[in-house]
């Protein structure tokens, strides 16, 4: 059994959103088209409380892009985004969610961020996705979504650590490139961890 994991296809990560990933909207039609090719489809949501520690606005004098230590680990500060139960946290309007078996939420704890769809950034808590996949006997996962250099990358690295055969559908991802070259470095790290980068045409 395999699973397609659709990462953070939410309004705030699309052009016009609070943490817009350049060209993020371009992956939605592919997400819609590819779903029927997989045994199981799950999706993730970045799902922060309004007082989340990753928001620059919650740290007086700080701005997006600054780095702080949050509960013992380094945290990049972001604009307020994907606040629980707001429009920005909703799935993109054109995203077909009819085949999604389960939605996993991350970033829900005030004092720690979670880029990976499996664990928070300090690996203190899991989202439930690893156990869910294990219970269903899924050993092969295909990732696509936003953003390639954050949530998709860390999800791929954790998936490899969990021993999953991991594929990243690269044309189904877009990155932030906060520092120029971040996207290219993310692709290298993903490959180095033993995940396979492929194009949707190769499926």
106 a catalytic residue: yes
Q: Is 11 helix (H, G, I), strand (E, B) or coil?
A: helix
The helix/strand count (H/E) of the chain reads as 4, 8
How far, in Å, CA of 114 to CA of 126, rounded? 9
When the beta carbons of 10 and 35 are compared against ligand VGL, the nearer one is 10
Determine if 151 is a binding residue for ligand VGL (CB under 6 A). Answer: yes
- The distance of closest approach from Cβ of residue 90 to ligand VGL in the complex, given in angstroms and rounded to an integer, is 14
Q: Of the residues 25, 151, 153, 158, which is catalytic?
A: 151
- The distance of closest approach from Cβ of residue 146 to ligand VGL in the complex, given in angstroms and rounded to an integer, is 6
Stretch that binds Zn ion, among 84-92, 99-107, 152-160, 172-180 (CB under 5 A): 99-107
When the beta carbons of 1 and 184 are compared against ligand VGL, the nearer one is 184
Strand 2-7's sheet: what is its strand order? Answer: 102-106, 40-46, 2-7, 140-146, 165-174, 196-198
How far, in Å, CA of 100 to CA of 45, rounded? 12
How far, in Å, CA of 81 to CA of 86, rounded? 9
List the one residue from 5, 18, 46, 155 that touches ligand VGL (CB under 6 A). 46
3-state secondary structure 134-197: HHCCCCEEEEEEECHHHHHHHHHHHHHHCCCEEEEEEEEEECCCCCCCHHHHHHHHHHHCCCEE
* Binder of residue 167, out of ligand VGL, Zn ion, none (CB less than 5 to 8 A by kind): none
List the one residue from 91, 118, 142, 150 that touches ligand VGL (CB under 6 A). 150
Q: Mark residues 40-79: x for contact with Zn ion by CB under 5 A, - for none.
A: ------x---------------------------------
Hey, which residues are catalytic here? 8, 106, 151
């Amino acid at each position: 059994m395999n699973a397609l994991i659709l990462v953070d296809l939410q309004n705030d990560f699309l052009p016009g959103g609070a943490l817009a990933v350049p060209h993020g909207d371009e992956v939605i039609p592919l997400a819609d088209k590819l779903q029927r090719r997989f045994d199981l489809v799950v999706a993730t949501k970045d799902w922060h409380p309004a007082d989340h520690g990753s928001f620059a606005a919650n740290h007086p004098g700080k701005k997006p892009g600054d780095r702080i230590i949050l509960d013992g680990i380094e945290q990049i500060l972001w604009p307020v985004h994907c606040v629980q139960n707001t429009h920005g946290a909703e799935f993109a309007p054109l995203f077909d969610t009819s085949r999604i078996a389960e939605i996993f939420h991350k970033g829900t704890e005030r004092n720690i961020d979670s880029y990976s769809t499996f664990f928070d950034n300090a690996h203190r808590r899991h989202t439930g996705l690893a156990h869910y996949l294990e219970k269903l006997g899924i050993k092969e996962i295909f990732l696509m979504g936003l953003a390639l250099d954050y949530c998709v990358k860390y999800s791929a690295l954790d998936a490899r650590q969990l021993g999953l055969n991991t594929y990243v559908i690269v044309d189904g991802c877009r990155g932030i490139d906060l520092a120029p070259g971040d996207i290219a470095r993310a692709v290298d790290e993903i490959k180095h961890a033993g995940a396979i980068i492929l194009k949707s045409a190769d499926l």
